[in-house]
Amino acid sequence: MATCSNEDHKAKVEGIKASMPSDDKIGEMGARFKVISEPSRLKILLALSGGELCVEHLTDAVGGNQSAVSHQLKILKDNKIVKSRRNGKNILYSVSDWHVLTMIGVAKEHLDCNE
């Protein structure tokens, strides 16, 4: 195995090590990506990017059935990505972690990238 003697690389590595999140934080990041990577949850988040909606209208927006949408909303809520509030008889859902929408926006933008 060859040994690299580039001092710039050594300095970069030290900077990388200093800014690297803990293993616990890396695990949290991976779990967050896993939650939002499921297609039906991704659709729900894209629908909610326009503002809060009730389950009935979310179901209409993303397709599928109300039971499945409710199940996915629970997962998103359990992971603190979506929040809900009661408005009379309806429960309205909205995005609670706007950073997630930023990540989704970057991914969506990347789809159109010609690089």
Query: Which DSSP string corresponds to 4-24?
Result: ---HHHHHHHHHHHHHPPPHH
| Contact (Cβ atoms closer than 8 angstroms) between residue 3 and residue 10 | no
- Residue among 110, 103, 108 nearest 29 (CA): 103
**Residues of the chain with pLDDT > 70: what percent?**
97
CA distance 115 to 110: 9
Task: State the average pLDDT over residues 75-83.
Answer: 95
Burial 18-30 (b: 16+ CB within 10 A, else e): eeeeeeeeeeeee
The pLDDT of residue 59 is above 90: yes
Neighbouring residues of 93: CB distance < 8 A, sequence distance ≥ 6: 48, 52, 53, 54, 55, 58, 73, 77, 82, 83, 84
Residue 43 CA: distances (Å) to CA of 8, 27, 49, 97, 111: 44, 24, 10, 16, 16
The pLDDT of residue 64 is above 80: yes
Tokens representing residue 37 in the block:
């990577």
**113 or 83: which carries more pLDDT confidence?**
83
- Tell me what pLDDT residue 60 has: 97
